[in-house]
Structure 1
Amino acid sequence: MAAAIVFDHVLKEYPDGTVAVDDLSFEVREHELLALVGPSGCGKSTTLRMANRLVELTSGRILINGEDITQVDTVALRRRIGYVIQHVGLFPHRTVTQNVATVPQLLGWDRARTRARVGELLELVGLDPDHYGRRYPHELSGGERQRVGVARALAVDPPVLLMDEPFGAVDPVGRRRLQAEFRRIHRELGTTVVLVTHDVDEAVRLADRVAVLSRGGRLEQLAPPVSVLSAPASPAVADLVGSGAAVRLLSLGRLERADLAADAGTADLAIGPHLELGAALDDVFAAIAQAPDGRVPVREGGAVVGVADADTVVTALHRVTAAAS
């Protein structure tokens, strides 16, 4: 797959000698969602901001779609890169419609085209244009403001979207909903996304690959989420992942027929609570924990094909981690 963004031996050193990013090289593939994670002060946000020249690199190169960003007009560069930050940055004196229309208006789009695009984007992020279009930011919840911020960033269909802790200011329940909604949007649009987050759960839930940075902006590991969780490349990655790796793996795996216990097919299993083959392993774990005997029938196409129990989860985890090794 072609690389949409290339960091080539990038260094960011400040005048006082502080090195925020040190000899950083990696590629972001076209259409993928790459998450940057790491401890505070590891250069995640600096790395992201160098991609749209909010922070100028000291040496090395950053290429976007094959172009060296230092050879592109800064304003033109930023207009074709979507950018979403934690506190959104909506214009308080402008309505939702006016906020989303900001870049199309700057590019000289006509009213009809702008109006149609705004309506399409608000629908995409789950906001009814007729209900929300005339509202001002202070009339919205935190999650709603964040959705407007995403819509504004996508207004001119940018090939690259940069997101810096985009859901950090939202409550936990709203955050999970926004994550699910954004994952849907990403699958639908195929935009190349670089997401900065301090939340490992968010990174492994959303990303196609995860880049783990350590202090000083050094790349410790770049791999799919399952590999980062099951096979940390360094002590720094292991420390970041912590003891919750197995629980996080549950959110990534899916229930397969080979995971099931063999004693299925009795008539009493055909009624009552059940799971569907292909269910997320965290849902499987929750269902087993709630079952009086720790066993839950699994269906496929309406027919019971097996039973899920504690051994099922262990078997599935072994399968998921083995596939990543």
Structure 2
Amino acid sequence: MADSIELDFRNLKQYSVFSGQIVAVEATNPIGDALYVNQIFAKAYAPSASAPRLESKINIFVAAGPFTALSNTLYQPLWDLMEKIASDEPHVLILVGPFLEYTHPEVQNNLIRDTHQEFFEKILTRIMESTKKNTQVVLVASNRDAHHEPIFPTPEYAVFNKKLLQNYRNLKLMPDPCILDVAGLKIGVTSVDVIKHIGKEEISNVTGDRLGRLADHVLAQTCFYPVYPPFEDLNVDTDLWEKHAFFDQQPHVLILPSDMRCYCKVINECVTLNPERMHKHAYARLSVKPALGDKWNSSNISCEIVKV
């Protein structure tokens, strides 16, 4: 096991650290058993992605699973949202799993008649049938889906119904985490509740905006999941994590779905949001204006969390 030494923060007025965080410290070691920290350096943001090449305003809707109440598998909140999608016709709809949460009572009690994969594909078919062709539908996988790989990073969903893929060219299946590129607008997405996981590990002496601070840790570590050791119900493949969980450019938008309170905040010029959970009838709407010349900033994006 690698040698470790205790960090003593008593000389610091403010700090916020968590397990797995990479930091640099300026400290003294007067008696050999602890580092007395005078300064901590924890922010090493990635360079921002280039300005998007949008020619006109685009509208993006974002919703995160679970998509149905714990008491049933009727998916009413999702179908209510799809009615809204059909009428508003956003350019992009991002749906972040899980679609069939493995802890759902009907999954646990084996009450679903179809196989989990068939059940998922029926939901997907209905989503695509109720979407106009000019809305790009992006599904981001979740390790919490009963029909999918219980590992993080998580590969994109498999669809065995080839007709479904052939009929709907406006469907994109993405892994978790991923960075979407919409005409140069970079949107980072993960389905893992990293905000909650960091929050449970954080040791801090800071007042103010806690949700913003937790989201800032993700950007400052340039990693979709910087917590180590990982949360007990998250199976992290460390090789895949090293390969896929980091970003070398800061996205324009960062989507971090969480059980914690919904928010939409600008952090280091990145629009960061938690759309909350669709089973609570909540989703996010983004409206993105083109840059004037090459002058891009976060105010080009407006964001609201709304109820359906």
TM-score band w.r.t. shorter chain: under 0.3
Structure with the greater alpha carbon radius of gyration: 1
Greater helix fraction, Structure 1 or Structure 2: 1
State the TM-score, normalizing by the size of structure 2: 0.26
State the TM-score, normalizing by the size of structure 1: 0.25
